Amino acid sequence: MSVLYSGSTLKINLKAIADNYFILKAKAGGREIAAVVKANAYGLGVEKVAPVLKEAGCKLFFVANLDEALELREILPSSDIAVLNGVIKGQGKFFAENNIIPVLNSMEQIDLWSKTFNQKPSMIHVDSGMNRLGIPIDEYEKVINSGKLEKLNVKLILSHLACADEKKNTKNVEQLNIVRKVAELTPNFKISFANSSGIFLGKDYHFDIVRPGIALYGGNPIPNSLNPMKNVVEITANILQIRNIDSEETVGYGATYILDKGSKIATLPIGYADGYFRVFGNRSYCAINGKKVPVVGRVSMDLITIDITSIKDEINIGDEVEILGANVKLDELVELAETIDYEVLTSLGSRYRRIYTN
């Protein structure tokens, strides 16, 4: 859908994404950075984001499934693209024909790939404690001892941290010890272990290649600490209506907020269909000219209302209101919604007028 006349705007700073790439590369001691661009580059537009990361020096990109990989192949004809979910029956030829690398997550996927495409590049995911995808370390040893590993063209062994955003969690060290064992069993293979937060756990977690996702897009890889990444996303909305309240009134569905006499409210064209969560009603805020104003009443599908009584400057219909940006931080919205920054970004809808800046 082409969006030309929306009253809400999503601004994406591509230079900030490139800057974040270099911040992470420095933090990883110069290790290779493989960018995770699944879910449409975390909702920000893979067709715009991926070329910027390639220009910054990224050679390897991870996506979730084959559809995402085929889309990305159209954008990046020569880059290495790997599919985290691996390959299932009937898909192998599409991987091979488009030079897409499967991450083999099970004995079944290893056998499937080995039968026909064993000379094509692949990766193997060893589960170090997530218990989601990947083969356990004992099965990995069986793969080695059976000779199956020698028959594959394995480019990378990867594993995934379960609690990297909790630096003191003992699970991190437990997983690290398993990955170290993987490195001992197959010392000639490159290893990728650290995600965004994992990069900040220290050099022991870096190995050969790190795989940041959310941090590239401005998400905080070290929760409850100052965000070291540059802000990438700004959301604004233009005022649709301003109303002066002459007597005590309620606002919005369910009449959940009572407005005092003399209040002034503004209605904005953004709602839960745009990824502005319903939970923000009566608890979040926006900003006008750098000053925060509360969201009052429930969030509707297409609209929210804000109390602008405290703003003494002249405010008019059509004026721009900050929803997310310099004064309303992503971390703050994450805390208010009791969620994670991944969910906030990937929930952004398709109705914004998108502006990409450098």
Q: Is 181 tagged catalytic? A: no
Q: Is 264 tagged catalytic? A: no
Q: Which member of 38, 217, 257, 272 is catalytic? A: 38
Q: Which member of 15, 142, 151, 253 is catalytic? A: 253
Instruction: Considering only the C-alpha atoms of the chain, give the largest distance between any 2 of them, rounded to a whole number of Å.
Output: 81
Asked if 133 and 84 count as a contact pair (C-beta separation under 8 A), the reply is yes
Main-chain dihedrals φ then ψ at residue 268, nearest 5 degrees: -120, 145
**Strand partners for 357:** 13
Q: Which residues are catalytic?
A: 38, 253
